[in-house]
Amino acid sequence: MWSYGKKGIGSRVFDALNTGFMILLSVVTIYPFLFVLFASFSEPMALMAHRGLLLHPLGFSLKGYELVFNNNDILNGYGVTAFLVVAGTVLNMLMTILFAYVLSRRNMLWNRMLTVMVIITMYFGGGMIPSFLVIKGLGLYDSIWALILPNLISTYNLIIMRTAISAVPGELEESARLDGAGELRVLFNIILPACIPTIAALGLFYAVGYWNSWSSALVYIKSPDKYPLQLVLRSVLVQNNTGSMTSGEAMYQAGMAQAYTRLLKYSTVIVSIVPIMMVYPFLQKHFTQGMMIGAVKG
């Protein structure tokens, strides 16, 4: 970036070292995923026999993916998570936009009080047990809504959204009102079109949050058929509950069970991160943007 005439020898050495370091860093960052990807397509027995790094799949086999897609728990988890991502993101955005609009009406009599009420929750919370008791008291325990309703508004995102709405020129709104537009029409036809970048960023924030969330399900969900994908992944990857999935044919051959278990884990990882990888180009663009908004004006 800085090309001011001739560079000294020290500067060149620095450039070379820096470039080398960055390449190394990128490899370290990306290689674990590549390893898992290669391993997931490998022949199970070859994978067991292999030691050290993988630079390509050992042979080629879709056995692991076959196991994943024949696994009801994982498919079911996928379904639950898909519902959470779609319904949750829509509801969250709706609530966030509506309440941000309320908070952006600075001249409103109770505006300041509402804002303070919201900000307080950024610093104080009831904690895990009281929240659990409230959820239980509302009859939401073991209901999928327990994963959505308590997270409807993220205060941080709310503030970002309010800032974006406040930045829309007041004249736009005035002229719409003179033409007889009501609150909702002003909000949806005038203000929101001017906030599209922020809305996209926050929508992605929420969607990725739902895709990756598992701890509220851990606390609030009891029946395995309501487990979101990440909780199923936890039982497969962390708690090693793969017995039922690799039983059957694999168990008859000695040593095969272990090989299939590993293969299944690798394939599961890949299957679970593919959706994230597909939206990654958008993510990295809008997340960066969203984070800057938050950093500058938050």
Partner 1 sequence: MMPDYGAAVQFSIQKPSLVLSGIAGDSVDLRHAGSSIEMQDDAMIEEEKRLEQVKRIRRRRIQPEVPLGTRIRKDWNQYRFVYLIALLGIAYYVVFCYLPMGGVLIAFENYKPMRGIFGSEWVGLKYFNDFFRGHYFWRLMRNTVLLNAYDLVFGFPAPIVFAILLNELAGKTFKRLVQTVSYLPYFISLVVICGILIDFLSLDGLLNQLAGLFGATETSFLLDPKYFRTIYVASGIWQGMGYGAIIYLAALAAVDVQLFDAAVVDGCNRFQRILHVTIPGIMPTILIMLILRLGSMMNVGFEKIILLYNPSTYETADVISSFVYRYGLLQGNFSYSTAVGLFNSVINFTLLIFVNNVSRRVNNVSLW
- Interface residues for partner 1 in 201-260 (CB under 8 A)? 208, 211-212, 214-215, 219, 230-231, 233-234, 236-238
The residue (of 116 and 249) whose beta carbon lies closer to partner 1 is 116
Which is closer to partner 1, CB of 138 or CB of 196? Answer: 138
Whole-angstrom distance, CA of residue 139 vs CA of residue 218: 17
Question: Which of 179, 182, 254, 274 is the binder for partner 1 (CB under 8 A)?
Answer: 182
Under the criterion CB under 8 A, does residue 83 sit at the interface with partner 1? no
Task: Determine if 36 is a binding residue for partner 1 (CB under 8 A).
Answer: yes
Tokens 């939206």 sit at which residue?
A: 279
* Binding residue count for partner 1, defined by CB under 8 A: 86
In three state form, how does the secondary structure of 182-194 look?
CHHHHHHHHHHHH
Give phi and psi for 124, each to the nearest 5. -120, 145
- Say whether residue 9 binds partner 1 (CB under 8 A): no
Rg, Å, the chain Cα set: 25
Residues 91-150 that bind partner 1 (CB under 8 A): 95, 98-99, 101-102, 105, 108-110, 114, 117-118, 121, 123-134, 138, 149-150
As given in the structure block, the two tokens for residue 296 are 């500058």
For position 46 contacting partner 1 by CB under 8 A, the verdict is: no
Q: Helices then strands (H, E): number in the chain? A: 16, 0
By the rule CB under 8 A, 177 interacts with partner 1:
no
What phi and psi, each to the nearest 5 degrees, are found at residue 41?
-100, 5
User: How far apart (Å, rounded) are the C-alpha atoms in residues 246 and 97?
Assistant: 46
Within 8 A by CB and 6+ apart from 26, the residues are none
The one among 11, 70, 244, 247 contacting partner 1 by CB under 8 A:
11
CB of 201 to partner 1, least distance (A): 13
26 scored as a contact of partner 1 (CB under 8 A): yes
Cα 211 versus chain centre, distance: 5
CB of 155 to partner 1, least distance (A): 9
Closer CB to partner 1, 58 or 118, in the complex:
118
Q: What are phi and psi of 279, to 5 degrees?
A: -95, 0
